[in-house]
Amino acid sequence: MRRREFLALGAAAPLAAQSNPVTLKAGTAKVDITPDRPRLCASGDKPDPPVAYARLHSRVLTVFDGTRRMVFVNYDLNCLDVATPILRERVERELGIPPAYLVLLATHNHQGPIQIAAENFDYGRELAEKIFAAIREAMASEDGPAELLFGNGYGTFTRAQLSHPPDYEMQLLKVIRNGKVAALLFNYPTHPQLGPRKMYGASHPGFAMEELEERLPGAVAIYADACGGNQYTLAPAGTTDFLAACQARGHEVAQAALEIAAGKLEEVSGPIQSHMQLISLPLADPIPYKQALELARDVPMDIGFKAFPDPRRDTNWIRALVQHYKDGVPFPKRISEYVCTDEEFLVKKLDAPRKYPCRFVEVLGARIGRLTLLAIQGEPLAGIGMRIKEALRQRGPAMVFGYFAEHNLYIPTRENVRLDLYQAQALRVQYTCPVGWSLDVEEEMVRGALGVVGAEPWIDPREQKSYPLRRRET
């Protein structure tokens, strides 16, 4: 579906929902994705023996309006990476579901295999097989009528970096099928709390989902991260029992979700439309050549690009920077000039072409009845998510997710870039980019993401003519 057609459908959706009500069906599935052998994790651990303090899972929710089907998939991993292009192509080819209707969402758990490590590429391929089977299972279980209810609440169990204004909001979609709770799809903006080291584990979101499924028999609980690239869930100060801390944080999340689900909710059932768009974000000018040579003084320059977990990975960008100057290669102006390899290198083109290569930044925008849903690739900082939610709320109920699909590129705020904090540096030290972010990245991300669903940033009240700036002198 082209963007113009999507926006036209979205504008007409409330009227269409009234004149032509649809009967929704919903299906669910859950599959174990815990590795059976030692695998390098995002935490840097490689559990040997491959034991888990909490099993890893992928959970699936399908919603079908009789014409279009939206598939929500989460996974107890930091990101999907290798499995993403495989799933997109196969789900489209065999199930007739295009990528814009396949909503891939991470819990951002660091205690599962990290797919950017070459030794885990085969795990990514196995993961794609398992998730595809789970999607088919969920589709086969679809039944109705299904009712979708939206609500939100707040939980103060996260901390924002450098005391930036935190986002404490939890958003929740409750799916009722044949009068019973079939699924809870909910989000929260944070990095997960780590459990015991040198073991696989689903972190605190995993405990939250398991508790919800226990308390709501027959339901599938699907947690995904919202925009929380600069927010963290931490163990209580002085804690030495990290398993107990992880379980306690999970219980807090589950309790907050239950309170929302049991409270006043807004029905959002209706027809489904979705669209996916690339938001091309601006990059900064390169540092001067003299400064580049100074940076390179103690850096090995003839070793090529090094992948995770090699510690020399952090200097890939310096080798790329100097090489651009020496070879007279034009520096990139936009992140979309690159594609991303499985190892997380930014390159001009892949060695082997793909139908769906990874480019930054993908944004999926959907309407389900009255609900607006946005899923943003990477790790947008909380301030970006809050600005987007502020604008969308003026139009009605809205859910905003980060950590969508492939690779966790941080999307920083203007202030984060100005201070050159960790999230702003990741573009260079993790992705080999020879330049950093432009100061305009936040503004363009907000406007671009909102534009996918035909919205604009909420106007500053001081810019309205009715705002009494100052009394005129007479």
- Mean of the pLDDT values across residues 244-267? 97
Percent of the chain clearing pLDDT 70 (strictly above): 93
pLDDT at res. 239: 84
Closest C-alpha to 356, from 301, 405, 427: 405
**Quick one: DSSP state of residue 122?**
H
Give the pLDDT mean for 174-203. Answer: 96
The tokens describing 295, both together, are 């940076």
Q: Which of 224, 232, 247 is nearest to 78 (CA)?
A: 224
Q: What is the predicted pLDDT for the residue at 19? A: 43
168, two tokens: 């404490």
Question: Average pLDDT in the 199-221 region?
Answer: 98
pLDDT in tens, 417-470: 999 999 999 999 999 999 999 999 999 999 999 999 999 887 777 766 665 555
Instruction: Quote the CA–CA distance of 146 and 155 in Å, as a whole number.
Output: 28
**What average pLDDT does this structure show over 2-6?**
53
Query: Distances from the Cα of 422 to the Cαs of 35, 153, 226, 410, 446, in angstroms?
Result: 30, 29, 19, 9, 20
Global pTM? Answer: 0.93
Domain edges within the chain: 3-277+361-393, 281-359+429-451
pLDDT band at 18 (very low <50, low <70, confident <90, very high): very low
**Bridge-based pairing state of the strands 102-106 and 69-75:** parallel
**Composition of the chain by helix, strand, coil, percent to 5:** 35, 25, 40
pLDDT in tens, 40-89: 999 999 999 999 999 999 999 999 999 999 999 999 999 999 999 999 99
Q: Three-class SS string for 32-63?
A: ECCCCCCCCECCCCCCCCCCECCCCEEEEEEE
How far, in Å, CA of 286 to CA of 325, rounded? 10
- CB-based contacts of 253, cutoff 8 Å, min separation 6: 155, 157, 170, 188, 204, 205, 208, 223
Distance CA(431)–CA(255), nearest Å, equals: 38
- Give residue 21's pLDDT: 77
Q: Is 470 helix (H, G, I), strand (E, B) or coil?
A: coil
Beta strands in 50-142 (DSSP E): 57-64, 69-75, 102-106
Mind listing the pLDDT tens digit for each residue in 341-376? 999 999 999 999 999 999 999 999 999 999 999 999
> What is the C-alpha to C-alpha distance for residues 326 and 459, in angstroms, rounded to an integer?
46
**Which positions ≥6 away from 337 have C-beta within 8 Å?**
348
Chain CA centroid to CA 9, Å: 25
Residue 10 above 70 pLDDT? no
**Tell me, what's the pLDDT at 163?**
65
How far apart, in Å, are the Cα atoms of 365 and each of 110, 218, 394, 449? 27, 29, 16, 8
Specify the pLDDT at position 17.
42
* Spatial separation of the C-alpha atoms in residues 102 and 29, rounded to whole Å: 15
CA angle 389, 387, 360 (to 5 degrees): 95
What's the whole-number average pLDDT of the chain?
93
Question: pLDDT digit string (tens) for 396-412?
Answer: 999 999 999 999 999 99
Query: How high is the pLDDT of residue 5?
Result: 52
Identify the pLDDT of residue 469: 55
